[in-house]
Every structure is written in structure tokens, then in C-alpha cells.
Amino acid sequence: MPNPRKRRAGTAGAAGPDSKRPAGKHTKTRKPTGTSTRVGDSSPEKTSASKNCGNNQSSYWLMKSEPQSRIEKGVDVKFSIEDLKAEPKQTACWDGVRNYQARNFLRAMKLEQKAFFYHSNCKEPGIAGLVKIVKEAYPDHTQFEKNNPYYDPSSKEDNPKWSMVDVQFVRLMKRYITLTELKANHQAHKATGGPLKNMALFTHPRLSVQPLTPGKSRPYSLCYSHARMTP
């Protein structure tokens, strides 16, 4: 059931983001490595950010979602950053990821890490805002729901294949960063060795959940092989 699609999210499950969270989890918002990165600044060169991809992986991610209505198996998959903002607690679960690489990245996400919210499959694709991880990976309930577009009959309750995280709205970008702009920077960086030269958005265009690398750190290809472990 290939559905390497990104996904919208539903209200953070009945088992909401905080239901069984270790209470005192008020970790300081750890800024991505000291790098100067003003995260979420509108300059695309800075949209890649954070740590290395070694063990603790990227501290910054990019997650795609479709802001426009589209019916998939009878269900509207639309989920824009405005939709996220409108959720209770501005929080939702990121369900429906059905691609192993994307899933592995979901599983690597840590509390408080941030992700750029990317609008795909729409008039003007691009980065719309910033979200943060408020619940680490747990089983995606939609894989067991027969009437759900993301139902996966091959997944067993005692060994769920697919995971999701909960994300919370942080803010919109100061200005919308279009795919066109990102691509221009990516192209330029390929020549100059700039930080976006290996941006997964272009090197792995179908990956709906992807890590971003810090300005001068290792190329994404390394992260990629690290994350490659299991299907």
C-alpha cells in the first residue's frame, strides 16, 4: 500500500499530546546548536538549520502537507498550517505517513525539535511556517482503521508498522518561502557548495518528512544513509 504521502493530521489523538507525557517535560526550548541560525528567518539559506545528523539527527525537519482540498478514498486530505493553527491547542497528530524513510525520520524526532511546514501540491508550493514536535513517535492509529484512507491491512496491532508524532503550531514564516526561491538557492548552492546544495526537497523530492542540515555541516546524503536503517 504505497502511500508515501505526507499527511495532514487529525486532532492529536484521543490520547492527546500530553495525556501520558512525563509531566515535568518543560525542557528549555533548546535552540539548535549554537549556530547563529535565526530559525525561520525568511532567508532561505537559513532554513536549513541545526545540528549534525549523526546520532541525534537533525534538530530541524521539513514536513509536507497539502493545503488544498483533495479527496482521497472519500476523505479530504487538506491540511494547511492554518488548519493546524485552528486545532485545539494548535496541535495535531501527523498521521498517514506510509513511506519507510519518512517514517524513520518521524521516529527520530525529539520533543521540542522544530519542523518547517511545507505546502505541497498547491498553487504556490513553499514553506509556510514553523511547528514543533510535542509528542514523539507513537503508533499511527489510522493504519488499523478500515475506513481510513491510510488503512494498512498488513500492519498488526502488536507490531504497528507506521508511526506518527504530534506537532504544534509555532508561527508562520515572516514571509512565505516559495519552492521557486528554494530551488534557485538550491541551484546556486550546488555551484557554491552552499547549505542547500543537498536539500532533500530536491534530491529526494518525494520524501514527505525530511531532515534539514545546518549551514556548514555534512551533506544530507550522510544523514540519509544514517537514517536508512530499517524498513
Q: Which residues bind DNA (CB under 7 A)?
A: 1-6, 64, 98-100, 120-122, 125, 154, 179-180, 183, 204-208, 231
Measured from the CB atom, is 134 or 177 closer to DNA? Answer: 177
Strand partners, 91: 168
- Looking at beta carbons only, is 47 or 120 nearer to DNA? 120
Cell digits for 110?
525529539
Distance of CA 216 to the CA centre of its chain: 21
Q: Min. distance of Cβ 199 from DNA in angstroms? A: 12
Across 208-231, b (16+ Cβ under 10 Å) vs e yields bbbbbbbeebeebeebbebbeeee
Least distance to DNA, CB of residue 150, Å? 9
Considering the complex, what minimum distance in angstroms separates the CB of residue 97 from DNA? 9
C-beta atoms surrounding 29 within 10 Å: 9
Beta carbon nearer to DNA, 114 or 119? 119
HEC readout, 42-74 = CCHHHCCCCCCCCCCCCCEEEEEECCCCCEECC
Shorter beta-carbon distance to DNA: residue 51 or 64 = 64
Residue pair 205/220 in contact (Cβ under 8 Å)? The answer is no
Q: CB nearer to DNA: give 134 or 173.
A: 173
Q: How far is the CB of 51 from DNA (least distance, A)?
A: 24
For residue 15, the minimal CB distance to DNA (Å) is 25
C-beta separation of 49 from 61 below 8 A = no
Q: Which three cell numbers stand for residue 80?
A: 494547511
CB of 122 to DNA, least distance (A): 7
Nearer to DNA, 30 or 156 (CB): 156
